[in-house]
Amino acid sequence: KNLAHRFKAVIMAEDIKKAIPEWPYFIVDLMHWDKHTQKEKGKVCLQLAQCYGLLRDYFMGDRLAVTWANEEFREMANMPLDKVTLHEGPTTEFLKSEGIDEVVLLDPWAGEVLSEEDFGVRAFIIGGIVDTGGTKKKTTPKIGEELETAGIKVRRRKIVLRGDIVGVPDRINHILEILLGMMVEGKDMDEAVYDVQ
């Protein structure tokens, strides 16, 4: 059943890709890279490889953008770096080079819940953060502040399960999978969250 569902989703993704000439970027922002332990950095890389796999299934591998992609990340990454979009510098620089002035930042600390009305932006940002020790609390809003300082309009949005962020898996690839489930497969938020649990 799962395979059939996935097959249907891929067919839909192909149609949607044809219908929408320009898919948004799904940016994983590595601004907080240096705050991670080596083990956590490995986890960030693993989750990013899974993000690439998800987008490749929808023929959108190149829509995965990784910003602040420094040398250490490139050495540790285990995905085809020539098939994704890499930017060494800040996210703001990347957005400006693409002419993007408004983004959705997926942020568990946001006041507003992500909705269909947010799907028209040209870039979604997920924090490239793994927090095994609870030492990186509230690091996602900092990404938003940095963007706003540079003049980018930031819609901070959270993903919830039955109204609460408790129960929403916070791995980077799971957040992307929930987002794609809603955008590409038309699932409602609760359904999309249940499907990655």
> Would you count residue 136 as binding ligand SAM (CB under 6 A)?
yes
How many residues bind ligand SAM (CB under 6 A)? The answer is: 20
Looking at 175, 182, 189, 192, which residue binds ligand SAM (CB under 6 A)?
A: 175
Looking at 1, 18, 39, 138, which residue binds ligand SAM (CB under 6 A)?
A: 138
Structure tokens at 12: 């839909």
Closest CA to 6 of 60, 57, 63, 62: 57
> Would you count residue 118 as binding ligand SAM (CB under 6 A)?
no
Closest CA to 175 of 143, 128, 135: 128
Nearer Cβ to ligand SAM, position 56 or 136?
136
Nearer Cβ to ligand SAM, position 18 or 137?
137
Within residues 52-111, the interface with ligand SAM by CB under 6 A covers: 106-108
3-state secondary structure the chain: CHHHHHHHHHHHHHHHHHHCCCCCEEEEECCCHHHCCHHHHHHHHHHHHHHHHHHHHCCCHHHEEEECCCHHHHHHCCCCHHHCEEECCCHHHHHHHCCCCEEEEECCCCCEECCHHHCCCCEEEEECCCCCCCCCCCHHHHHHHHHHHCCCEEEEEECCECCECCCCCCCHHHHHHHHHHHHCCCCCHHHHHHHHC
For the bound state, the minimum distance from the C-beta of residue 185 to ligand SAM, rounded and expressed in Å, comes to 18
Looking at 93, 148, 170, 195, which residue binds ligand SAM (CB under 6 A)?
A: 170
For the bound state, the minimum distance from the C-beta of residue 8 to ligand SAM, rounded and expressed in Å, comes to 26
Residue nearest to ligand SAM (CB): 127
Looking at 123, 159, 184, 189, which residue binds ligand SAM (CB under 6 A)?
A: 159
Stretch that binds ligand SAM, among 17-25, 77-85, 92-100, 132-140 (CB under 6 A): 132-140
The footprint of ligand SAM (CB under 6 A) covers 106-108, 126-127, 129-131, 136-140, 158-159, 165, 168, 170, 172, 175
